[in-house]
Structure 1
Amino acid sequence: MAENEWQDVKSLILYFSLSGNTESAATQIQDVTGGKMQKIKPVNPYPEDFDQYFKIAKHETELQLMPPVATAIDDINQYDVVFIGYPTWWGEPPRIIDSLFDKFSFADKKIVAFSTSSSTPFEATKPHMQQLIDDEHALMIAGFRCDGDIDHLKAEIAGIHLAY
């Protein structure tokens, strides 16, 4: 879809970010699509210190813990497309993404997943995301890794087909 075609699409950009990389990617997506941005926040905030949140994140991943989500979404049914963004932690989305799907119904929604990582491709996280989306009876219409290259991001968004 060309950039100007997004003006008629109501999109929500949900993202989880601790370092700011995923928030930056979400902002770039908002610039292209005009969607509403909303940060996924945990009930118990992660520490700001990298070493501390690294330990907590590793613990959550290893034990498959699902930190509760504090974020509220007003009337998710008003959106045609929901972008869900996250950093890649040990080849997977953070467990708070599972919590997001546990808290909200994305049934019948068109989902675009996007990840951030310095090296791990989106395909590493795709099976996990696909399972979450399939369990919700939603449809993943696209997925990609944001690497900071705005031209790459625009090309990925241009390749999204909403007519599924």
Structure 2
Amino acid sequence: MVIDTFLESYDFSGKTLVPFCTSASDSIDNSLHIFSELAPGATVAEGLTANDEEEIVPWLNSLGYGADSSGNTAEETGSTENGTSGSNILIAYFTAAENSGVDAVASASYSEVNGEAKGRMQALAEMIQERTGGDLFSIRTDVVYPADGGELIDYAADEQAEDARPGLTSHIENLDSYDTIFIGYPNWWGDMPQALYSFFDEYDFSGKTIIPFNSHNGSRFSNTIQTIQELEPDANVIEDGFTINERDVPDAAGDIDAWLGELGY
């Protein structure tokens, strides 16, 4: 049998096996002994025989995995308080498209990815999530950024000249749960958006790994990685971040996979 061969091929000592199956008649309880016999060093959890999707969430909750049937991601709830994925990776990003008060398609900061209009940094963050399984976190501000491209550029320049600190309306409630933080942002006038300065002011990432990613119109990261190192001196800031011209964002998935592979993901 395929499962027997699989269990015999690997050493699961010290690991937890969580069996599940579908069946029109027999319960999985009748086959749990196979797992115990073929993987004697593993812990075999209570299995599930499921014929209905609604049975899965209560079962996961009973095992302590804290499944969230709502399917909400961090940027939808405005925080990572639920921590539903159990991941130690957070993917935080800022995009003007989600802070402009209009639909993404009306924002100068959007790209069309797989037929869906979304903020460029959101698109990149979701590609990273696809590979790493991390939690998404959208950096939201009390500032409503212009949707028009020209107006946004001017507004960003004014914010930078004033060294502004926009107020944040989304907050990470469980930062201690994460040891790796991907942080994404567009390059505005050779720097991070001022919202990122507010973000780094709010959180102490000491002892954590920060992995930057960004979009640009030719300036790549400029000096922003060094800036992050200065703002978070006790964090491990990876200098080999991912940077891409904003026009190439819709087709970035392959490049992101290759980059993450080089980083060990």
TM-score (norm 1): 0.84
* Aligned pairs (5 A) from 1:4-19: 10-18=88-96, 19=109
* 3-state SS in 2 of match to 1:152: helix
2:87–2:135 contact (8 Å) kept in structure 1 = no
1:108–1:139 contact (8 Å) kept in structure 2 = yes
Aligned to 2:206: 107
Within the alignment, does 1:81 sit opposite 2:180 as a pair? yes
What is the rounded CA distance, in whole Å, between the counterparts of 1:54 and 1:75 in structure 2?
Answer: 34
* 3-state SS in 1 of match to 2:241: strand
**The one of 126, 132, 135 aligned to 2:231:** 132
Matched length:
154
Render the CA deviation track for 1:129-154: whole Å, top value 9, x for unaligned.
221222xx111134221443222211
Structure 1, gaps ≥5 residues long: 1-6
Q: Please tell me the root mean square deviation across aligned C-alpha atoms, in Å.
A: 2.1
Render the CA deviation track for 1:55-89: whole Å, top value 9, x for unaligned.
22110112211112111112101012111100000
Aligned to 1:160: 263
Runs of 4+ aligned structure 1 residues displaced above 6 Å come to none
What is the rounded CA distance, in whole Å, between the counterparts of 1:115 and 1:130 in structure 2?
Answer: 16
* Aligned pairs (5 A) from 1:1-150: 10-18=88-96, 19=109, 20-134=119-233, 137-141=234-238, 142-147=240-245, 148=249, 149-150=252-253
Aligned to 2:254: 151
What is the rounded CA distance, in whole Å, between the counterparts of 1:35 and 1:146 in structure 2?
Answer: 21
Render the CA deviation track for 1:84-107: whole Å, top value 9, x for unaligned.
100000111111111101112212
Structure with more relative contact order (C-alpha pairs < 8 Å, separation 6 or more): 1
* 3-state SS in 2 of match to 1:122: coil
What is the rounded CA distance, in whole Å, between the counterparts of 1:91 and 1:52 in structure 2?
Answer: 17
What is the rounded CA distance, in whole Å, between the counterparts of 2:242 and 2:231 in structure 1?
Answer: 16
2:225–2:237 contact (8 Å) kept in structure 1 = no
Aligned to 1:3: none
Specify the structure having the higher radius of gyration (Cα).
2
TM-score (norm 2): 0.54
